[in-house]
Structures are given as structure tokens and as C-alpha cells.
Structure 1
């Protein structure tokens, strides 16, 4: 029997588009005879259509908010149909045959319009000038943030992308950026409600749907089990199905993200209602003591990044746009992505993929920094509707775990000196909690990001935006001293892309004035995030970054890439160690919004940067960490987040840079599923050894410590390094070598070093990327690096930051 999908049909045109002066055309009839229409994909944006037509420049984006933008198409049919508009950016009128049928003032609301069709009709969408609307008189807020301009944006329900100087290009989001679909009357279920929960190991599936022409019983199917849905009102069927022993949904690092198909059968037809996952999300401690999540009763260290759209111009929402980026997040061991309040709600395909791949999602409301007019009835109603639609749309998404009231609203007001009575976002929090209790009671609600302490940005409470290590130029030790409970933002740097990406962008010389245009900065600040990166270059390698930039720009960029990788790994080693109070850290930012050295750990073309490789090592589910405990020596922390036990060999070696061994210990370890183990260097060695050079009884006996966790067959699971006297990046002979070999999954690169090699980095001549990069090699050690997405026999170069030459392969 065929299974029928319960989705609407896309209304994909063909569509055409034209840009006009604001108010030039009061209705669609005025468009007749105008020249300048271009093809326009729907869903899509006006900027995307202009780009496809060769009328768009990334270097000088065409302003669109100051104009009106019209879309039109022909629609044909007979009978009653419903058009659904998933997202219209931002001030939009919908016209059918010259009659105004809908006016929308929010790009975050979906709308439905019922039509009586009788043959061919003309459908037109008028996107009115947002700039004109923002310029009219508005009531001013109690504060005006530096983040975005103009201040009247507090009244608009539109993305802040394009309005944040220093953060992203001024690209105007205009158009039907989410799907437009059509649905005929009758025949398929509508008003579908799905709810999945777990109680004492039993999955509970609650379903409601409307099917007025159902002939006979409506039977619910899931996981090979069935239940008949009672008719609770005419054409409305509701019921529940208990599923003892159901396979649960897990983050991909902790288990399998199992989902289960849900169908209903009625009158000989079977309808697909989608897939659901069964899991619990719980807060392990009071929010004031810090956000800390458990999934299915198991604590999960939430690590990942703050999400950015796949393409700022076209704002695509299809699987093809999301999947490569989300798979990179999975490969990096990320467990959570946060969709922050400065961005936009992502489409259903994003959430479906996160469900499928096992990535937790923190979803903010699209509110950030402004004093929003929640006391205005119209604004409040629109926001309540927005929240309800969001939670209804994601009602069956197991990956959704946290919903937040927005970004840096409380922080903005508090930093301007307002008292708590002003900066607490009580109204929005109450709205969000009420809606979540009704529609998604399984979710954790966060008032705002950051929030929770005496000041909303206190690091040791609630959730914080931690930039101590980073923008505030604090030493690595501050990551522990700050007692961060959960960093919903952290570690922002102007991350330098790999050389191939810089060549593609025409940005190879950091002395070129064009280079500075791609450096992110906070509006009004007299510093930028390249200066933040440079600070750690100087601190780690003992060089003058400004002088190095002038004298040797290539090495300046190399040390910049290496420095951010070191900072990322060192910070997360502190946060993931046994005994840490930190339960999560989300890096700012996932992907660049423009070419150049942006915040992203992935560049604008989707290529990983050095920071991504560092996070991939820092986020390993089976992990080995080293922390400097001063007079107590080094501590080795072993983590196993997986469901399988790990039997391994642990080796801790202290050597000089040339490879002379000062001390060494090795022992077999068994890590139970979802367990941790901490061992001091003294316990491993069985004697005193000044592992951190803290006692200063004489010249240091070693330059580095290397911790390696490997399986009994020699496969390295994880390793970590400690440099008691710092990182000496001075060029020397390291005996670096590289050769292509046949690996289990194809060609791989074996990289070895006779002496210590610092921040070894690979560059392929053509397409492809290594599985790891910007890693250290201990003296006399080697690594086997898989090569992904290569064509033919790859070639390229291998270098070390402290190496004196280049190795070709």
C-alpha cells in the first residue's frame, strides 16, 4: 500500500521579480508594462535573484530595504485551496487578481490564505520598503544598543543580519525566503499534533489530527505497534500509544539518534506523519547555579558553536544547503548548535537534519540587545504568535532541547547601568515559559543569553557569554578561575582561513587595506578581533605580531592560525576535565558571514579553519586531557562518553625537544561506558618528578609532556601536550617527513617527526582536506591522516610552525 506524505505542494512558479521605487506601484496593475523583470526562485530572496541574474556584487551589495520589491506568478486550479506562506521578509502584501488578501509585518510568521480558484489567476507579492517604515516616528526605547542601527529596529520583526556594522555585510533580506505551498480541501490529515515523551522507560506518543472524510477507524502506527485514535470531535481524532522499551534518541556522541516513523491508516489509505524521537532533557541543578543538561538521565557536556545561515544572500533553507555544514559539526564532535537571537529561524530541513544526525539545538527567539516594546499589544500579540508557531512547527523535534528569550538584552541594559528591575526580561520569559509548558513541556527555558547571576553576564551562574580568554585578553588560567558554568558564547577570534580560501577571496596579504574590511569588530570599540588574536600570538610565541605582519606576512598568518587552535584546545581542556563546574561551551561563531578572517571556525566557502581542527580534537567523545595543577604536577583526565567500554593503554612521556626522555610511564586502563578517570603524573610515574617545573630545583629536565591514549592494537584514540616553559616556535630541523600510504578508507598521509614538531599543518594542492590539521608531533612519533574529498592522487605540503623547511608529498 502506498504511503502518502501529508505535506503541501510547493508553489514554485515560475516567478519573476522587479525592484521599484518605494510606493511607485500601489497595486499589481501598476506593474503592467514595466521593464526589468528577472526570474526569481521561490523560496529565495531578491538579493539571490539579482545575484543569479548577474546584477549583484558581493563587494558592493545592492541596497534593497529602500525599495519596493514585487514578485508575481500564475496560479491555476479549481475549487477551494489554501496557500501557506512560511516566511515573507518583511513588510509584505499578498494580492490575488488585484485584490489584497494578506498584509504581513513579520518575516518570522507563517500565514495561510484560503482561495476559491476558477482557472488561471495572478498572484503577486509586494515587499514594501522597510527603510521607509523604520524612518517613520517610533517610540524610543529606554536604551539604544551599539550592536545594530537604527534604533527603530526594536519595533520590527526582521533579522538583524545586515543591520550590524562590523559584524556582517549590509545584505538586505527581502523576499519569500521560505516556501510557499498550496493545499486542496480534504483528503489528507491537517492540524497534526505530535508529542513524544518518555516515562519510566516507556515511550508515550500523543497524536491529534483532523481528517473530516475518514472512512472507518483511524489507526496509529509506530515501531510496529498500533492504537485506534478516538474521534473527539467531528473529524478530529486524538489518542496516545504506549511504547515500552522504545529505542531512545541520543546525541551522536553518546549513542544513536534513533527516530521512529509515525503513520496513520484510515479508509484503506496510509499517511506519513513524519518521524519522532523519544528522549528526556533535564536540568541537573538550579539555573542560578548554572545550566547543566542531562539527556535520558546522562549528563552531557554541551559543546559546539553558534550557528550562522549557510548563505547570507539567498538564505537557503533546503537540505542541500544545510547538510555539508551539519556533517562537519558532527565530524568535529559537536553536540549542540545555538541559533542565536541575532540570526533568523532556520527551516524545517535544518531541524530534521539535527534530529537525524544527533545534534542538540538551542533555539533563541529572534530578539537581541534592544528594549523591545512588549507592552505594545500589537507587538506582544505578534511575538506570542511567533513563539506558538515556532514550538508547533518543532513539536516533534527531539534535537530541540533549549529555548531562550533572546540574546544580550539583559546584558545590554545591565552594562549601561540600569537596575535589575529594568534589565530583567520578565515579560518575554513569562510568554516563553507559558508557551513551552503548553506545547513543549520537555524543553529547558532560558530567560536570555546570558542570564542568571547578580549581573546577567556573571560567569559563575546561569549561562554566560565568556570572553575572558578571548576579547578580554585574559590568560588561559582564567578559563578555570572564572568558574564558568555554561558558556553559550565564547572564544571569538578573527580566525584566519586556510591559504586556498584566501587565494579564492583575493585576500592573501594582511597588509592590504582590503584585508581589514573582513575583520569583525564591535561597533564603537577601538579594537577589533584581529587584535585579540594577535595578543595570543604574542603571548604564546614571544613575537611582536605587528612587526611580524610587516616583515613576514605569511608567517604572521601561520602563527595566527596556530594560536587560535592552541587557545581553543587549552580552554576546553579546562572545561572538560574531571572536577570542572563547566557544563557546556559554544564557540562564537560557526561559519563566516563574508570572505576573510571572520569569527567562523568554518570559512564562508564551508572549508574548515585551524580552529575547527582544534575543536575536533577538543571535542572527542573518548578523550585524554592534560591540566597543569602547579605543585600537584600534571593531571591526566580520561573521558569516555560512549556506550561502549574502552580498554586502552595510557602513556605519559616527558622529553626534551630533541627527544631525550626524562621520565615515562605507561599503564593499561579500562574506561567504563560514560565514565571518567583522573590520574596525577605522580601516580602514573610512581615517584616525584617536577612535571610542571613548579619546584625550580634546577634546570628543567624536559620541554614537553605528551599524553597518549591508544587501543591495544596501537590505534591512537587521543593525545595531549603540555609545554612547561611555553611554545618555542623558532625554526629548526625537526626531521619532518610525509608519505602517501594506503589506509583503511583509501589514501592517507603518514606524517612523522624525529624531533618535536609544533602545529604541523598540511595544505593540499587541489581539492580535498585532511582529517586533522594543526596538530603537534612528539619526538619520534607519527600520525596517519586520512584525506577527504580528494580527486586522483593528492599532492601538497607539510610544515611545522617550528620547522625550518617544507616537505612535499
Structure 2
């Protein structure tokens, strides 16, 4: 059921922790003879406590799964109380005064235990060695995945983080990583069932709860309106509150994520039930034809990334840990994040923030790649409880929209050649659908990620993990040829952080052997994701990446950053054009799990990389992109996802390599709410012009096409570039300039160029970042960039990939 938002008292200690050999202490009484305890924050992990005590190295993580780890604290009180354990990683015994209260074998389950207190007590938690448990005899699965080791993990309900060589550091998740709370019995609602729905434009709030000692009428209040709940059984109250005209919840790309507080009043007391959002989520077409979602009846192109925890070591779950990263996601235009089956369920604060920021959440079950023993009654029962607790906890979260049966379970088996009767994860899907029908019938269920086609990884059905452009080195055209319907993973590269983060991590030279140790790779593959990035550096700029790495490592990293940005923008431009079959794409990953050139578009220090800036442009709600349609010329695709009409000016300019205008068109237009418009270059120019150099009547008349969509006052809405002659990154004088100037928004950085500037980027001397980076400028173009987080008058330099040098400001 839904949670009462009245804050219980936390058992935050002080706690202390000690690491022992496996089985060294049979019970908490044996701890009295030991020394070496360290302070241990709760919630928190053993790794986090050791790091705070100076006994932990991020570069060489201490293995913990081979040990037992004990936590203990004092607990004072009188009378009966309920102790709640939100998350214990992973094999845990809970002891009170030497008496075993609870044994948990899953880090994904919450537990409540009633205790009778009479003064001062000692509460102890024993996290037993997971390594020893995994080493005991287990029934082997039908297949053994390459992703994670050992194979006996299929029986364990723990995160795969730390068990995936090449993916992330070997950090062992051990400890009470979610809150431990206490509360007295009685006097407050229990069994709360809270559902928000929309019927014919009217918000419907359905409430059920148990309150045996109500002491009078029980009222529910929301959006300034109230309704009385009927007593349907002794102590059980239920009812509905109709809210005509209530403001709906939208993803931030399409509207305002409106939330409404809900409270229950009874016997002179008010109980906070949190906030709800009224919205509908529907699947536009049959899943086999491809996942496509509509929110409140409006089709939404879902774009964003796959989520990783804010800190792999401490696994924090508070607002302060989540907020900076989620705010970056929203700023980049991401309207969906996927919590994949290789990670862990995030804390309530994550979902609360996604509700507030208008970011849709795709939540996988924590199942990935393994042949899980769902035919084992004990395993199945634990998984059913896990699903129920997850849906109950998030019962009133409007951002939750998709729940999936896990990651690459079907794909793993299918790629090993098993028939559909083996790889089809039907039992988990049925369990998930049953749980959703009972607790969150408004959600969309995805059987597995990927799934839905003749093979689960078919790109033109269901959902796919699309790495054609990316890991498989396909040209940009493959993004259309593959007919991707929904990419729940895509575009994985070893994304290079900005120089300041590399300096902090001591990773400034890509020739240093330490650099390669943190480059992500698939286990067993003879290539890594730096090689994938290098492939596109060579393809885009006509250079030899290996030679460049050896002779000019700084330029090698510069072109690497620029290439990733180009690939990101080009792929999403294809997927967001009018006529595209694609309804969504989620980049792998949002944030790095460790310092270095990882998959994240945000680095381990929380700073955006070049890919983040590219996505910020690619994900604009008001967008303009260009597509090469061969003999049909260039097509300008304009999209307004907002609920407001936009009056704008559209300009399409063709210039030579020297910057001379070869052809130009400009027109005023109005984009209606939610409207998409496509205009050909011929329609815009009103005459024939070989915009794609397809007719071969002679040398191309232009090298660059620039599309610019701006408001009537000149404010840039979106722009796009088509490099007919390729991307010439040869350094030369292009007339690049930069200066701090005053405009209506205060001090901004004015960047201008005489000739086309490729991959323009700002490097600040201190902290802070520009509002845009790694962008192009058309000949004679300029941009005004806001600089945030600088703490004073900023300084730095501006460079272009094809510029002869840096310009100071």
C-alpha cells in the first residue's frame, strides 16, 4: 500500500561497524572482545564508512563480500514499537540484545519487526559473507552470461554493481544502505490505498485506509476540495474525490508537472499522504509494433538516459545526492530515465524529485542476463514480494510510467542460440502484469529490455538496445535503416570528461596505462568503447586516431569530445524528424560510475561532458533538424512539443567553404501547439537548388547548410547544420572571437566567428560551465552564453575544432 508521509524517527545512531572474518562471530555477544570499530553512518554502506575512516581506496576498492560486517547501536525506549528496515545489503541478521529478530536474504526487500522495549537495548546487524553463500552448491542455470560473475548470482537478490568486470569498479554493496526507522503502534492510518486517475478530463482520487480509532468522520482533502470517506468495514474507510478541471501532470518537455497535496483528517488530526499527479499513460500502438507512449492523450517522444546511482560507494538515497544529477537531466531536456536491471531500486527521494521535475521513470525489476530460478517457490515468492513492495511504495508517483521485467535476460539466451521457448521470460512477465493490475493499473508493462520482435533484440519491434550507430560502428544512415521503434539503450561511448575533471582524477594523458584501466568494455570482447569513439573520430574528421593519440594527445581528446557530440545530435535528429518510426531513445548512461572516460554523459564529479551538451540541443521541446533526402533535397523538420503556439522566423542558408552565401531563404511561420512541420529546401527556396549535391551536374555549390529557427525578437530557438562537404577539422584561421558582454540577462560570453566554426567549446579557468558547449557556428554567426557556477567574473578560453588556436577572455 501507499506510505504515510509522516516522518518516522530514524535510527541514525551513533552506529559503529567492524569487519570480521566470515563466521568469526556467531552472535553479537562475541563482538565485545573485538577492537577496531569505526563510526558508521546509517543509512550507508560499509564501503562508505571505511572511506570516511580513511581505510578505503577508490582506486583499489577493498573486497567486502568475503567478510562478515557487523553494525551496532543502542536503542532506548519503553513499550511496543515497530522497527522498519528499508534496505539491507544483502545477507543480514537483525539482533536485539542477543536475540535474533530477523533474517533477510534480499537487499531489495523492506522488513518491519515489532519489538517490546523496556529501557536501553543493543541493536546489532550482522551482514554475512555473500561470497561464502555464492560459493556453496547451487543449481546451475541453462546459460552463463558474460556480463557478471559468478554464475551463482542468479540465486542472489543483490545488485550486479561490483560484479561486472569492465562495466564498473568492484565495489561491494554491503550494509544498511536505506533508512532504519522506529515508530509506536496505533494512532495513525495503515493499509493506505491511494490512486489518482483521470476520467473524461476529471481527476479522480480514490482513497482507502484503516484507522480503527478514527473518533469521528474521516475526510480526504486535495486541491482545496474534500470528501468524506465511508466506513466500509470496522475501522476501514474508503471513498472517491472527483476533481473537475484539476491541473494535470505533464513531463516537463510538454507542460507543467503539477502535483497536488493529499491529506486525511480524522479526530482533529491531519495525516499527510504526500502528493499525487493526475495523468494518463497509454500505449499508442501494439507493443509488437514498437513501444510508443502518450501522456494525457498526447504522443511523447521519450528521450533521456539510463540511470546510475549518485555514488557507487555510499549508495546515498537522500534529496541532496539526487537533486544535482536530476536537475542536470531536466536541464538537458531529458523527459525519461530508465533504472535498469543491472542497478538497484532508488530511494523515495529519487521518485519524488522525478515527480517534481517532470521526468518520466522506466523502472526495471532487478533482473539482468541470468537464467533466474523463477520455478523455485522460495525465489518466486521473494520476487513477488519485491514487485508488490515496489509498486506499493510508488503507488502515488505520477512520473512512474513503465515497469520492465529486467535487462537483457531474453537477449542473453537468444544470442546464445536458445529457442523462444527457452528465452521467453513469460513467468516474470506474468508476475509483473498481475502485480501491476492489482496495484498500478495505469502503468505500461514491458516484458524485458530488449523484447518484442522475432528475436528480442530486433530493432524494428518492441524495445531494442540499439548500438548500430555506436558499438557496431555503423554509419549515421543506419539509425533510419534499422527502423528503431524505441531504444531503451543506445549510443554508448567512452565519453571524455572536461579537462578539469581529468586533472582532478590524475588522468590527463590518454597514453598513460592508468587511462585504459577505466575505459568501459564488454567482458570477453576484443574491443572497448574508446575504440568505438575513435572509429567515429576517424570517420568524421579523416584522421588516424591512433597516430593522433600518440603525437598530439590533447587534440586527440578534443576530437573525441567533438565526435561524440556529433553522433548524439545526428542520431536523435534522425529519430525526431517527421515521419520517423522511433518513439524514444535512452542513452547509456547518464553518469559515470568512476572517474575517467566512462559511458556517462555526466562525469563522476557531476560535470556535464560534450555528449550532455549535444543532448541538450537534440532534446529541445522546440526543435529544428535537417535531413538529407537525396534527390528530394534537404528537409527541414520543425517540432513544437509545447502547449503554446510559437511565432517564429525560419532561415535556411547555404554557404561555400569560404563562407560566401550560395543560396538563402527566410520566412515567417507559426507553429501550433504540439505541431510538427516538414518543409523541403525546394519549397523554402522556391526554386531548384541541389541542396544535397545529388544530381552531380558539377562541383557542389556549397559546403554547409544552416537552418535557424528564431523568435520574432531574434532569440534562438533551435538550429541545425548539414555538412555537405564533410567536417573539415584542419586547424586554420576562422576569425573566432570571444568576450564578456552585458545583455538583458547580465554578463554573458559572446562568441562569434567569421567563417564556419566546428565544435566550438569553452574551457573556464575555474569552476562553472557555459549554457552550451561543443556547438557549431555558421559563417558570421554569434552566440551569447550564460556562465553559471563561476563565483565571480569568469575567465577562460574558447576554441574550435577547426580553429588555429585558443581565444582568451
Equivalence for 1:462: 462
Are residue 760 (structure 1) and residue 782 (structure 2) matched? no
Distance in 1, matches of 2:515 and 2:333, equals: 31
CA–CA separation in structure 2 for the residues paired with 1:609 and 1:587: 13
1:268-287 matches, cutoff 5 A: 268-287=268-287
Structure 2 equivalent of residue 620 of structure 1 = 620
Partner of 1:345: 345
In the alignment, the residues of structure 2 paired with residue 606 and residue 34 of structure 1 have an alpha-carbon distance, to the nearest angstrom, of 39
User: Which residue in 1 is equivalent to 2:432?
Assistant: 432
Q: How does 1:660-699 map to 2 (within 5 A)?
A: 660-699=660-699
| RMSD over equivalenced CA pairs, Å | 0.8
Aligned to 1:643: 643
Q: How does 1:139-150 map to 2 (within 5 A)?
A: 139-150=139-150
Deviation at 1:696, TM superposition (A): 1.3
Provide, for residues 370-397 of structure 1, a one-character-per-residue CA deviation record: whole Å limited to 9, x for no partner.
Answer: 0000000000000000000000000000
Distance 1:177 1:241, change over 3 A: same
Q: Find the aligned partners of 1:233 and 1:156 in 2 and give their Cα distance.
A: 41
Q: Which residue of 2 aligns with 1:474?
A: 474
Structure 1 match to 2:198:
198
In structure 2, the residue corresponding to 1:29 is in which secondary structure?
Answer: helix
Cα distance in 2 for residues equivalent to 1:37 and 1:237: 49
Aligned to 1:33: 33
Output the CA distance in 2 between the equivalents of 1:210 and 1:61: 47
Shift of residue 293 of structure 1?
A: 0.1
User: Per-residue displacement from partner, 1:737-774 (whole Å, max 9, x unpaired)?
Assistant: 01111244432100000011000000000110001000
Aligned partner of 1:317 in structure 2 is 317
Question: Aligned partners of 2:67 and 2:419: how far apart in 1?
Answer: 41
Q: Does structure 2 retain, via aligned residues, the 8 Å contact 1:6–1:188?
A: no
Match of 1:509 in 2: 509
Match of residue 134 from structure 2? 134
Distance across 2 between alignment mates of 1:745 and 1:489: 37
Q: Which residue of 2 aligns with 1:250?
A: 250
Match of 1:7 in 2: 7
For residue 638 of structure 1, give the secondary structure of its aligned residue in structure 2. Answer: strand
Q: Which residue of 1 aligns with 2:111?
A: 111
Q: CA deviation at 1:805?
A: 1.1
d(CA) in 1 for partners of 2:322, 2:91 = 27
1:468 positional shift:
0.2
Using the TM superposition, give the Cα deviation of residue 211 of structure 1 relative to its aligned residue in structure 2, in angstroms.
1.8
Runs of 4+ in structure 1 over 4 Å off: none
Query: What is the CA distance between 1:235 and its match in structure 2?
Result: 2.1
SS in 1 for 2:731: coil
For 2:190 and 2:607, the matched residues in 1 are separated by 41
Partner of 1:773: 773
Q: Does 1:61 align with 2:61?
A: yes
Alpha-carbon distance in 1 for matches of 2:748, 2:463: 42
Shift of 1:5: 5.2
Whole-angstrom distance in 2 between the partners of 1:432 and 1:622: 36
1:495 corresponds to: 495
Cα deviation 1:235-259 (Å, max 9, x = unaligned)? 2212111111111000001010001
Give the Cα separation in 1 of the matches to 2:307 and 2:639: 26
Deviation by residue 1:432-480 (Cα, 9 ceiling, x = unmatched): 0000000000000000000000000000000000000000000000000
Could you state the TM-score of these two structures normalised by the residue count of structure 2? 0.99
Q: Is the Cα contact below 8 Å between 1:735 and 1:755 reproduced in 2?
A: yes
Q: Which stretch shifts more, 257-266 or 736-745?
A: 736-745
Describe the SS at the equivalent of 2:782.
strand
Q: How far apart in 1 are the matches of 2:5 and 2:401?
A: 27
Partners in 1 of 2:415 and 2:185 — Cα distance?
54
Deviation for aligned residue 1:300: 0.2
Is this contact kept in 2: 1:411–1:457, CA < 8 A? yes
Q: Distance in 2 between matches of 1:658 and 1:748?
A: 29
Q: Distance in 1 between matches of 2:447 and 2:299?
A: 22
* 1:165 and 1:523 in contact (8 A); partners too: yes
Which residue is equivalent to 1:700?
Answer: 700
| Corresponding residue SS for 1:19 | strand
Structure 1 equivalent of residue 409 of structure 2: 409
Whether 1:606 and 2:606 are equivalent positions in the alignment is yes
The normalised TM-score by structure 1 is 0.99
Match of 2:16 in 1: 16
Residues 1:218 and 2:224 are matched in the alignment: no
Q: Deviations over 1:245-292 (max 9, x none)?
A: 111000001010001000111111111110000000000000000000
Distance 2:211 2:506 in 1: 58
Corresponding residue number in structure 2 for 1:559: 559
**How do residues 80-95 of structure 1 correspond to structure 2 at under 5 angstroms?**
80-95=80-95
Ranges in structure 1 where 5+ consecutive residues have no aligned partner? none
Secondary structure of 2:94's counterpart equals strand
| 1:213 Cα offset (Å) | 1.6
Q: Distance in 2 between matches of 1:37 and 1:341?
A: 34
Paired position in structure 1 for 2:543:
543
- Aligned partner of residue 705 in structure 1, secondary structure: strand
Q: Indicate the residue corresponding to 2:788 in structure 1.
A: 788
**1:161 aligned residue:** 161
Cα drift, residue 347 of structure 1: 0.3
Q: 3-state DSSP class of the match of 1:492?
A: coil
Q: Deviations over 1:308-354 (max 9, x none)?
A: 00000000000000000000000000110000000000000000000
Cα deviation, 1:704-754, whole Å, max 9, x if unaligned, reads: 000000000011100000001210000110100011112444321000000
**Distance in 2 of aligned mates of 1:7 and 1:805:** 57
1:519 aligns with 2:519: yes
C-alpha distance in structure 2 between counterparts of 1:82 and 1:211, whole Å: 17
**SS in structure 1 opposite 2:315?**
coil
Larger mean Cα displacement after TM superposition, 217-226 or 459-468 = 217-226
The alignment partner of 1:126 has SS state of: strand
Q: CA deviation at 1:187?
A: 2.1
In structure 2, distance between residues paired with 1:639 and 1:589: 26
1:576 aligned residue:
576
Aligned to 2:736: 736
Q: Which residue of 2 aligns with 1:534?
A: 534
Deviates more, 1:228-237 or 1:321-330: 228-237
Equivalence map 1:292-371=2 (5 Å): 292-371=292-371
CA distance in 1, matches of 2:178, 2:234: 33
Whole-Å separation in 2 of the counterparts to 1:210 and 1:180: 24
Question: Match of 2:786, SS?
Answer: strand
* Aligned 1:708-719 pairs, distance under 5 A: 708-719=708-719
Q: Distance in 1 between matches of 2:802 and 2:635?
A: 27
SS at structure 1 position matched to 2:710: strand
Q: Is the 8 A contact 1:657 1:779 kept in 2?
A: no
Give 1:563 shift.
0.2
**Local SS of the residue matching 1:309:** coil
Secondary structure at 1:32's aligned position in 2? helix
SS at match of 2:141: coil
1:35 to 1:542, Cα distance in 2 relative to 1, 3 A? same
Aligned 8 A contact 1:6 1:189 in 2? no
Tell me how far apart the structure 2 counterparts of residues 98 and 794 of structure 1 sit (CA, whole Å): 60
Distance 1:754 1:598 in 2: 35
Please state whether the residue corresponding to 2:118 is helix, strand or coil. strand
Structure 1 residue matching 2:504: 3-state secondary structure: helix
Q: Secondary structure at the match of 1:678?
A: strand
Matched, 1:585 2:591: no
Task: Count how many residue pairs are aligned between Structure 1 and Structure 2.
Answer: 806
C-alpha distance after superposition, 1:70-104 (max 9, x if no partner) = 00001111111000000000000000000000000
Is residue 483 of structure 2 the alignment partner of residue 483 of structure 1? yes
Q: Which runs of 5+ in 2 are unaligned?
A: none
